[in-house]
Amino acid sequence: MRQPHDLSAPRKDVGLHHITWRATASALSSADVLADAIAWLVGDEEAVKLDRSTSYHGPELTLITASTANKRKALQSFAKLGEANLKQLQSEMEQRMDDQHVLHFRLTIDSVVEGEPKFAIGAGTGTVKGQAKFEVYSGLTEEEQLENTFAEANELLEGN
């Protein structure tokens, strides 16, 4: 068991406060397929919300959002990014994290639908926007806490 003074053991109370996924489907794409893919990402079909509207130019648009504030589910959702993506996010934390400890990233829609998330590079492809809000506790440095959260996500990958 971890002792209060033992900083070498990972803390299990470090994690994500919540995770949110957003995407827009046009009339040319299947909103239902994308909603199913986002349900897989968030791990809860009931968490997916569809908001249908008409764009200024006429075609129907569907805004698809899903989020969970359940810390365990948020971490499981984050882990679905996979080992390589988690490593990349960890190395790009300074560029991707805002002052509120929210990590911002975009995945290609196609990769999410295929169940193999890949980061979107540049414009020209539909994206699923991810926002992961990290918890920050006193007692460890912010860097140590973030490292522990990434380590926990990787442990979840190994358990699958």
Tokens of 52: 């249908």
Residue 157: per-residue pLDDT: 83
For residues 26 and 59, is the Cβ–Cβ distance under 8 A?
Answer: yes
- On the question of pLDDT at 81 being above 90, the answer is yes
Superfamily holding 16-159: Ribosomal protein L5 (3.30.1440.10)
- On the question of pLDDT at 15 being above 90, the answer is no
Residue 56: per-residue pLDDT: 72
- On the question of pLDDT at 144 being above 70, the answer is yes
Going from N- to C-terminal start, the domains of the chain cover 16-159
- On the question of pLDDT at 8 being above 60, the answer is no
| Dihedral in degrees, nearest 10, Cα atoms 138, 140, 143, 146 | -70
